[in-house]
Every structure is written in C-alpha cells, then in structure tokens.
Amino acid sequence: MIKRAVFLSILLILFILIWTGCEPFFKPVLPPGISIYKTRGEYFDHADIGMKKNEIFRTSIYSGDMYKFITSNTDTVYKYRIRLDKGYILDFEADSRYDVFLDLTFKQHMALEKIHPGGIGHEILKSHIIDNDPYVEYFRDTSEPRKFELTVETVDTSELNTIIREGKLEQYFERLK
C-alpha cells in the first residue's frame, strides 16, 4: 500500500512538472507599474472611471479611499498623480485602455458621493464624462522586474524629469499610445 502511494505521488509530481513546463506553481503578480502620460485637456484634478465600450465597469468611492488624498477646507489633492516636466503626469493607477475623465474634480466627486451614499449611479457618471479617449501619449513601465519600483511614499521625480527632458521615455517605458 505504501509503495503504491509513493508511486502515485511521484507520478503526480512528474505530471505537474510536465504540465507546467517546470514553471513555478505560483508566479508572483507584479503591480501594473507606473504610467506617464499626457492628456488632451487639463484633467489633473479630475476624477476618472473605467469603461469598456459604453459600459462602466470601474467607479471609485473616493471618500472610502481617503489615504489617497490630502484634504483641507479649500483643496483636495490626489496623491497618486504627480506633475512632471513638459506637461507629463506620473500616475500610479491609470489604465490607458479604460480610463475616461469626468468634469468632476475629486472634491466635487466626493461631495456627490455624500448625496448618493450607495454609490453614484452609472447614468449620473455618464452625464459627467468629458473625455472618453483622454490620452495623447501614454507610457508604462511593463518591465519584469520593474525598472522603477516607485511608490507614492518613495517617489523622486528628478530621474523621471531628466528622462523626459532628454527625450528618452521610450528607452525606459513601453509606449502604449
């Protein structure tokens, strides 16, 4: 009985190794990487949502993510977007495939959330869309491992600004648009 269990275990292990091509069972998933982009308009302080075709699939409840903001009585600043040289924006959450920008600033979006505590309805959000194809240039660090292991807390934009000024974005980032 023990010989049979050992034989079946070895057979199972061999099958798994052949099936996976000797790859590790759980390949670590990298975060999407930072994005650097330019938009058609001045959307730096504007909220965005995600759409596939004409359907909203990603909305944000910004008041539930207050760690992403610096707020005061007069301003609300989204920490995950940072201005760079030559009109570029560094973004830790952007997605060139699905982002559409609203005519609502983050502060206005949060005020609207208070009126709609169960979530702002999709029809209301659609009525606030100002650009459903906002990016004129879009670059992402898709390398493995990441060339730029930046976080909001550790970002130093000087290296990125140097790359931009020298016109070398495509040497360090994949151009997606």
> Does 7 reside within a domain?
no
Query: Quick one: which of 154, 176, 64, 165 has its CA closest to 109?
Result: 64
Q: 103: which residues sit within 8 A by CB, 6+ positions away?
A: 46, 128, 129, 130
What is the pLDDT at residue 83? 95
> Does 21 reside within a domain?
no
What is the pLDDT at residue 144? 77
Report the number of distinct structural domains present in the chain. Answer: 1
What is the pLDDT at residue 130? 95
> Does 2 reside within a domain?
no
> Does 107 reside within a domain?
yes
Residues 95-133: pLDDT tens digits? 888 899 999 998 898 888 888 888 888 999 999 999 999
> Does 146 reside within a domain?
yes
What is the pLDDT at residue 146? 72
Which of the two residues, 24 and 16, has the higher pLDDT score?
Answer: 16
> Does 119 reside within a domain?
yes
Query: Quick one: which of 33, 29, 165, 174 has its CA closest to 90?
Result: 33
Copy the structure tokens of residue 113.
């959330």
> Does 166 reside within a domain?
yes
**Boundaries of domain holding 143:** 28-175
- Residue 68 pLDDT more than 70? yes
Residues 130-157: pLDDT tens digits? 999 999 999 998 877 777 777 777 788 8
> Does 1 reside within a domain?
no
- Residue 22 pLDDT more than 60? no
Mean pLDDT lowest for which of 1-15, 87-101, 102-116? 1-15
In this prediction the pTM is 0.76
Q: Which of the four pLDDT bands, split at 50, 70 and 90, describes residue 19?
A: low
Copy the structure tokens of residue 50.
């995600």
Q: What is the mean pLDDT of the chain?
A: 82
Q: Which of the four pLDDT bands, split at 50, 70 and 90, describes residue 55?
A: confident
